């Protein structure tokens, strides 16, 4: 069935270091200002070639029909856009929590687009891949671009940023936040004034979704309280995951250890260059 097994490609998590909702389009999409940074905690995706031009997901997620999985949709979209007829079996080593605000599904889709473009030697540019990626989700472009960025629009207008690369302690509450539920909340702020990159650097790091998520999901509120005992705890995206930054890796590991008896905790390094770009460079 498959002709060759290929080495796994990383699909990293992202953190939103700031999130402001500044308007809403007629199609319902919210207009944002946000800052993306990656962490070196990843899903891993591997591929095996098929003789037939089909796209198969080796280990479907229980709650997601294979045809709706973003990895399958990404591979099929790439086939449709290029006319390429080779088939592929996709295997996802899923480590990032769903509904955690870490962009796992979008990152998986981006990795499929970037990896198959390289492995199938399709020759699409980064901009062409981004044009495809935005059709799959607003967060997909930043994962394709692969650098820490200031983002506007629905998240697709990206300006690269050079940010500190601290160690992050991430708490993963035992719940899954439904983004659509948060964005449809009547009390969600949708008219925050625009800020500048300089204002972000000066300390404007709020998240307009925070109060809504805390009200809807007590587990997230509890995680924020627990992490706040050790540092400035923040919500990434619409949650559920919360994080705090530490300059010293030993301090971060100590905090993670202290929280681990009661919480699922991950200690990861913030990175401005995605591990996906490093992998891509190694195969060119």
Query: What are the catalytic residues?
Result: 14, 139
Backbone φ and ψ for 215, nearest 5 degrees, come out as: -70, -40
Helix (H, G, I), strand (E, B) or coil at 117: helix
| DSSP alpha helix (H) spans, the chain | 70-82, 104-119, 126-133, 140-145, 179-183, 197-201, 210-216, 218-228, 249-259, 275-283
Q: Kindly give the residue spans of alpha helices, DSSP state H, lying in 64-178.
A: 70-82, 104-119, 126-133, 140-145
Q: Distance (Å, rounded) from C-alpha 90 to C-alpha 108?
A: 11
What whole-number distance in Å separates Cα of residue 31 and Cα of residue 20?
Answer: 8
What is the number of alpha carbons within 13 Å of residue 270 lying toward its C-beta?
Answer: 24
Give Cα 23 distance to the centre of its chain: 22
Q: How far is CA 235 from CA 16, 52, 225, 241, in A?
A: 8, 44, 11, 6
* CA–CA separation, 163 and 151 (whole Å): 14
| Burial class, 251, CB count within 10 angstroms (exposed 0-12 / middle 13-18 / buried 19+) | middle
């Amino acid at each position: 069935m498959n002709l060759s097994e290929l080495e796994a490609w990383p699909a990293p998590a992202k953190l939103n270091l700031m999130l402001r909702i500044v308007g809403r389009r007629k199609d319902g999409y919210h207009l944002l200002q946000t800052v993306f940074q990656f962490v070196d905690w990843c899903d891993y995706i591997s591929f095996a070639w098929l003789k037939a031009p089909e796209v198969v997901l080796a280990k479907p997620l229980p709650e997601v029909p294979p045809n709706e999985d973003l990895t399958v949709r990404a591979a099929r979209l790439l086939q449709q856009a290029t006319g390429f007829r080779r088939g592929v079996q996709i295997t996802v080593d899923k480590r990032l929590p769903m509904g955690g605000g870490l962009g796992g599904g979008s990152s998986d889709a981006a990795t499929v687009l970037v990896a198959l473009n390289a492995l199938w030697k399709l020759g699409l540019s980064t901009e062409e891949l981004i044009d495809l990626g935005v059709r799959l989700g607003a967060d997909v472009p930043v994962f394709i671009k692969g650098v820490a960025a200031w983002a506007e629009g629905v998240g697709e207008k990206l300006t690269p940023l050079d940010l500190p690369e601290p160690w992050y302690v991430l708490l993963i509450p035992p719940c899954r936040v439904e983004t659509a539920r948060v964005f449809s909340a009547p009390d969600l702020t949708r008219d925050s004034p625009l800020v500048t990159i300089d204002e972000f650097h000066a300390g404007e790091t709020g998240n307009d979704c925070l109060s809504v998520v805390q009200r809807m999901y007590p587990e997230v509120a509890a995680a924020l309280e627990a992490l706040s005992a050790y540092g400035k705890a923040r919500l990434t995206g619409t949650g559920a995951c919360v994080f705090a930054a530490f300059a010293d890796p030993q301090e971060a590991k100590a905090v993670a250890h202290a929280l681990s008896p009661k919480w699922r905790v991950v200690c990861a390094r913030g990175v401005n260059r995605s591990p996906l770009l490093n992998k891509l460079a190694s195969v060119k």
